[in-house]
Structure 1
Amino acid sequence: MKKKNEKEGILLESGTNEIEIMKFRVLGEFYGINVAKVKEIMMTEKIKPMPHSHPSVEGFFKPREQLITVINLANYLTGATPEQGARDLFIITHFNKMMVAFRVDSIEGISRISWQSIQKPDRTLANGAESVATGIAQCDNQLVTILDFEKIVAEISPETSIQIEEIEQMGERDITTAPVVIAEDSVLLQKMIGTSLQKAGFKDVKIFNNGQECWDYLSSLRNDPDLYKKANILITDIEMPIMDGHRLTKLVKEDMRLK
């Protein structure tokens, strides 16, 4: 898996706007995760239950002296607790200094696709709330839901995510006129970053839902004499539908006016 992650890093850094998706099944449905987020795949092991934990947390196990929390993805996604299969697998990830294993039914392979082919799900599919899906992609004639694993971990264990209170502890900051442009597809992170910047003294903040929208805005300012009064600081997510952060920053750096 190490070689695969190194390959993924080279791929993304090149700004090709592509991603490698590991496809897996949960209760018969196809889901996906960015290969770069996967540390390894493991056979399931005996798990020690964790008292008073979230319903989707099965417990933990300790392979190679490393404590790993196990999340039952079927339970999180549907609320059901199906019987555990002998062929179940653990997808091992690392988020916010926390090792997490997600139980899945099977691994179905890896597909390389363009971010342009990934569509953000309509919010009506989640009753108006932000979906746990990063996007929907067509992989080998299958519709695959790419999950936001950071959001899953943050919902199950909020204390492990970034807290606004940590920003407030920094105290008051002088107001700055430097305009900030943000590319971020997560509504949750849009609010968190926007609020944090406001508290840090940045009052001119523009937020876009993906790299393409952000690039269109920056491109429109290319010949504006007041460019740096409208866009001075760029903050971007890496994984976004249509255009990712690597592609966005590559385009900006290659533009003689915007770089």
Structure 2
Amino acid sequence: MSWSNSLPSENAILLQSGTNEVEVLVFRVGEFTLGINVAKVREVLSSPPVTALPDSHPSICGCFRLRDSVIPCLSLHQHLDEPPSCPPEEAVVILTEFNQHQIGFLVDVVERIHRISWTQVMAAPSIVAQSKAPVTAVSQIDGRLILMLDFEMIADQVALGEPKGDAIANELGVDRAGQRVAIADDSATARKAVENTLRCSGYQDLHIFENGAEAWNWLAASADNRQGRPPIDLLISDVEMPQVDGFHLTKRIKDHPQLREIPVLLYSSILTPDNAKKGKAVSADAQIAKPELHRVVEMADKLIFAAMEKKSTTRDDVPTAREAELSPV
């Protein structure tokens, strides 16, 4: 079967903004049945000839040529310490693109694509995160539990992914220590990288959430207790998360009378043109592609500064009681 034609083209918008749905490509590696968000998948290929690389990570098979590009190839059998269930010539490669990198992952069998609600995707148990297993969530599909791999963690483990955070200059003079910032990301690797960069740059009042549902529940409860004042000054959110994705989280915030003024920065490994349109449709204030950590801090400064300027202008436009008394009718 040719899988390339069955995958979405770059211009096809398969899911509407804010519907809280995801398409999952299910595949197998040995005895494991695994899943990946289709938005990360470019093609599924018959196993290509791979050229070995000297002194590389044990999980890296080598690289292969695809049209005008040379693509690194990583064996999930090797990385997950799981023997293959098929002969090497029958294996397939899932060509992915995220964090502005293309990586091929060698697997045994690709099954099919399923469209499901993010509510069918549950966060991985805390013991999984503590064990450093590269699993970010568990999906319920056709009566089975499908492990959603944390491809960002895997790429980071073999030094193909997220750079570590450094302090970023504060050119706008924002009082970073006084700002309240929430971070929502189901990838422990990405979450820690953003947190470290923000802390190194002076943002200290951080609220960290492992998925959109956790973030929303806290925001909604906090809004009820703050008498009209938003509980945070900025939300930095991933897009693909269990229970409530970043688009749906943004839509809920922008529809909420007490939360709608909170600036939302979507920070995603899959910022395709389609996803950029979806982010705009739910009124996200800005969108940045991973792994540009320096831009996260710079954009956080800009969004917080713009929100402060807007509040200041609004206050200046409201007359005092004395001015209202003296103003002609």
Give yes or no for TM over 0.5: yes
5+ unaligned residues in a row in structure 1: which ranges? none
Inter-CA distance 195–4: structure 2 relative to 1 (3 Å threshold): same
TM-score using structure 2 length: 0.70
Residue in structure 2 matching 1:94, options 92, 97, 103 = 97
- The answer to whether the 8 Å contact 2:123/2:211 transfers is no
1:255–1:153 distance in 2 versus 1, CA, 3 Å:
same
Give secondary structure in 2 for the equivalent of 1:241.
coil
Offset of residue 44 of structure 1: 1.1
Report the Cα distance in structure 2 between the residues aligned to 1:107 and 1:185, rounded to whole angstroms.
24
Contact 2:168–2:201 (CA under 8 A) maintained in structure 1: no
Matched letter for residue 54 of structure 1: H
Inter-partner Cα distance in structure 1 for 2:48 and 2:188 = 36
Q: CA deviation at 1:216?
A: 1.4
1:72 Cα deviation from its structure 2 partner? 0.7
CA contact (8 A) 1:130 1:187 kept: no
Distance 1:207 1:8, change over 3 A: farther
- AA aligned to 2:116 is I
Letter in 2 for 1:72: S
Question: Are 2:145 and 1:146 aligned?
Answer: no
Counting only pairs closer than 5 Å after superposition, residues 199-218 of structure 1 correspond to structure 2 as: 199-218=200-219
Deviation at 1:9, TM superposition (A): 4.6
Structure 2 residue aligned with 1:4: 8
Q: 2: distance between equivalents of 1:192 and 1:67? A: 28
SS of the equivalent of 2:111 reads strand
Give TM-score, length-normalised by structure 1.
0.87
Change (3 A) 1:191 1:63: closer
TM-superposed deviation, 1:226: 6.1
Decide which of 35, 48, 52 is 1:32's aligned counterpart.
35
Q: CA RMSD in A?
A: 2.5
1:207 to partner: Cα distance: 1.1
Contact 2:223–2:259, Cα closer than 8 Å, also in 1: yes
Letter aligned with residue 168 of structure 1: A
CA distance in 2, matches of 1:257, 1:169: 31
Question: 1:22 is aligned with what amino acid?
Answer: L
Matches of 2:235 and 2:128, distance apart in 1: 31
Change (3 A) 1:216 1:94: same
CA-to-aligned-CA distance 1:55-114 (integer Å, 9 cap, x gap): 111111112121011111111111657774322111001233332111111110011111
Q: What amino acid is the match of 1:86?
A: E
In 2, are the aligned partners of 1:60 and 1:70 still within 8 Å (CA)?
yes
Q: For the pair shown, which has the larger CA radius of gyration, 1 or 2? A: 2
